[in-house]
Structure 1
Amino acid sequence: MPSRCRSSEGPPPVPYEPDDDHFREYHVTPRYLAGSGGTGDAGFEPVAHWPHHYPDDGPCQLLVTSPDHRIRIGWFGDDYDLWKITAAEDAVSTPRWVATFNQNMPPEIVAGFTRALADDWSEGNDDFLRPTSPHWSESVRSPATSDWTLSTPDRSTVELTAPDELAGLALDRSFSAPSEEPWVLWAGPPGWGTRAEATFTARTPTHLIAASAAALADPAPVVRTRGMINRRIEHLVRLAPVAPETASAPRAPTPLDVRRTAVSAALRRASRGQGSACANAARIRTTTAQTGYAAPEQTAAVLPCFS
């Protein structure tokens, strides 16, 4: 079986030239074809105030947990499945469900899931553990996906497909165990470098899946440099140059600037010693026009990423 981990081999890095279009920033639509951008800041922004842990061993480079440790959000900066998110009845129980997002999934879409998850936890209603039906439910729809087409390609499959047929949500109703992954949210043409994919095990609450689908269908663009767009799908996206900032007098760093610097330093520490050039993907960078993600101080305790 071929390894699913990213290879450290590849074409040599492109030398940085400020005026090179490779490094110029663009607003990208549809957002689900923008790729990950090599960062996770947008996905972590909704839980920036939760405890952060930096495991010394293993592929997990950053683990964010709810204060009661029932929810775990892992970032695997060198792996094919970049994100692994779980929820359990208590801190030591087996996860009730697992969600994974691969290396092509934009973190802005992961943020739809983590934001809904954080809202559930903060409201104290445990909706993130709510039992779900194994059957298709209209609860996975949202206003953002109201124009998606519902179809049943066969007796066991139900699909929602975007108008451009480049994104969709599918449920395989033939699953037989809670640990199976009947739900798949996808975007882009098939291929290792082009298909963004998220999978959800059978007990994942449908409102969390719906939140991910809504974030994927959001028409708002995301920001990427030209070089971050896979060449095989460049013809499928629309690019609008990001207007350059107006030159102004130097200013003193704001508290947000200070926090961003701290986050970058923390994630460099997390990726140090991984022995792979692609560990640098854990560096934090603001990828949207919104306020960037800022992590709290590292906690003293270091937890195992996932049991």
Structure 2
Amino acid sequence: MHAPDDPHRYQEVLVSPMYLAGSSGAGDAGFAPVAHWPHHYLDEGPCQLVVTSPDQRIRIGWFGDDFELWKITAAKEAISAPRWTATFNHVTPPEIVAGLTTALARDYAEADAYDVNGRFLVNPSRYWADAVRPLTEAGWTRDGGAERGTVEIVALDGQAGVLIDNRLSGWDDETVTLWAGPSGWGTRAEAIFTAGTPSHLIAATAAVMAESAPVIRERHQIDQRMEHLVTLTPVGQVAGPQVSRAPTPLDVRRTAVTQAVHRAARAPRTATALRVMAAQSRSAGAAQHRSGSLAPAAAARPPASSPPPRHGR
């Protein structure tokens, strides 16, 4: 862990390769493509937020305190069993999740009233290569040591890959795993897809992993076991318009607290609301000492939403 008194602890850095950047502590990047879809905030249970398509056939769940941070499903009808499931663990960069949610938002927008299924429910290709084409086109190569009946494609640096299980399996069995980083609870990112997942959705997720663009993190968010595998460049040292200026993790935290307080102020004084008010008090004091005493986020946070109208959420 980074020392609490490290003056560079909260320094913003560009992390490359992106697939080793880990989580930013917030899900904004993953939810951004579906920000216009209905949001359902849950006070009880492990799932803290569910974003659904307007007809609720697509569901994107955020489990802020769990190992499997994201669970995304699609079904033929709102009340029917999922046709496929994708899960992303707590180490997966949300920018990779955004590859899938962007494709889902596009598929849903392109479906018309006469399209019963939508492209997000098509059967996967019979050819495993279709799901990972962005990786092979980027120069990732096949690992000849994979177990019989499986295929593994590995990045040039050997620190990321995809494992495909081609053995006979059920519709709900997990057959494709995108991974990055060394094995370990805090170092290995994993995105797992069941057998029914459309190939183009897996490819859309893989395409983000194949990109070389770095992402912004605060230095303390990089696991020390990963520092020798990534390139960290302080944001202030990068010149030119090529650097994307997305909201920083600190921006996300401040916005989340402010807007959570707005929600709590308009709701009955439940235990949840009281905890939010306490968080406001802690965050206000911490923000004044950002250089040395700002406390890190205790757990991953769902994205901030727009403040609700005064008559309700």
Q: Would you call these one fold, judging by a TM-score over 0.5?
A: yes
Q: Which runs of 5+ in 1 are unaligned?
A: 1-10, 246-257, 285-293, 303-307
Partner of 2:130: 138
TM-score norm. by structure 1 comes to: 0.77
> Where does residue 184 of structure 1 map in the other structure?
177
Whether the aligned pair in 2 keeps the contact of 1:184 and 1:199 (CA below 8 Å) is yes
Residue aligning to 1:237 = 230
Gaps of 5+ in 2: 239-250, 265-271, 277-295
Q: Which residue of 2 aligns with 1:117?
A: 104
The yes-or-no answer on 1:209 pairing with 2:207 is no
TM-score for the superposition, normalised by structure 2 = 0.76
2:78 corresponding residue in structure 1: 91
State how 1:1-307 maps to structure 2 within 5 Å. Answer: 14=4, 20-124=7-111, 126-133=118-125, 135-142=127-134, 145-152=137-144, 153-243=146-236, 263-266=256-259, 280-282=299-301, 284=303, 295-296=305-306
What SS class does the counterpart of residue 138 from structure 1 fall into? Answer: helix
Residues 26 and 252, structure 2, Cα contact 8 Å, conserved in 1 = no
Deviation at 1:84, TM superposition (A): 0.3
Query: Relative to structure 1, is the Cα distance of residues 261 and 50 closer, same or farther in structure 2, using a 3 angstrom cutoff?
Result: farther
Residues 71 and 87, structure 1, Cα contact 8 Å, conserved in 2: yes
Deviations 1:56-111 (A, max 9, x none): 21001111000110000011110000000000001100011110000000001100
How far is the alpha carbon of 1:261 from its aligned partner?
6.9
Contact 1:53 1:301 in 2 (8 A): no
In the alignment of these two chains, the number of paired residues is 267
Could you tell me how far 1:151 is from its partner in structure 2?
3.9
Q: After superposing the two structures, state which structure 1 stretch, 154-163 or 52-61, moved more.
A: 154-163
Separation (CA, whole Å) in 2 of partners of 1:264 and 1:201:
35
| Larger deviation, residues 153-162 vs 98-107 | 153-162
* Residues 123 and 283 of structure 1, relative CA distance in 2, 3 Å threshold: closer
Indicate if the aligned counterparts of 1:183 and 1:199 stay in contact, CA closer than 8 A.
yes
Show CA shifts across 1:157-190 (max 9, x none): 1121110011111111124211110110000001
Q: Distance in 2 between matches of 1:301 and 1:243?
A: 41
Equivalent AA in structure 2 for residue 59 of structure 1? P
Aligned-partner Cα distance in 1 for 2:190–2:201: 15
CA distance in 1, matches of 2:2, 2:230: 25
Tell me, in whole angstroms, the C-alpha distance in 2 between the residues paired with 1:259 and 1:32: 20
- Structure 1 CA distance for aligned equivalents of residues 185 and 252 of structure 2: 34
1:301–1:69 distance in 2 versus 1, CA, 3 Å: farther
Give the Cα–Cα distance (whole angstroms) in 2 for the partners of residues 93 and 278 of structure 1.
37
Preserved contact between residue 124 and residue 196 of structure 2 (Cα < 8 Å): yes
**Runs of 4+ displaced beyond 2 Å:** 11-15, 137-140, 143-146, 150-155, 258-274, 277-281, 294-302
Query: In structure 2, how many angstroms separate the alpha carbons of the residues matched to 1:12 and 1:231?
Result: 8
Q: Which amino acid aligns with 1:237?
A: V
Structure with higher helix content? 2
Report the CA distance shift for 1:104/1:145 in structure 2 as closer, same or farther (over 3 A): farther
Instruction: Provide the secondary structure at the position in 2 that maps to 1:282.
Output: coil
- Report which of the two structures shows the higher radius of gyration computed on alpha carbons: 2
Instruction: Please give the alpha-carbon distance, in whole angstroms, between the structure 1 residues aligned to 2:33 and 2:64.
Output: 19
Letter in 2 for 1:73: I
Deviation at 1:114, TM superposition (A): 0.4
C-alpha RMSD over aligned residues:
3.2
SS at match of 1:184: strand
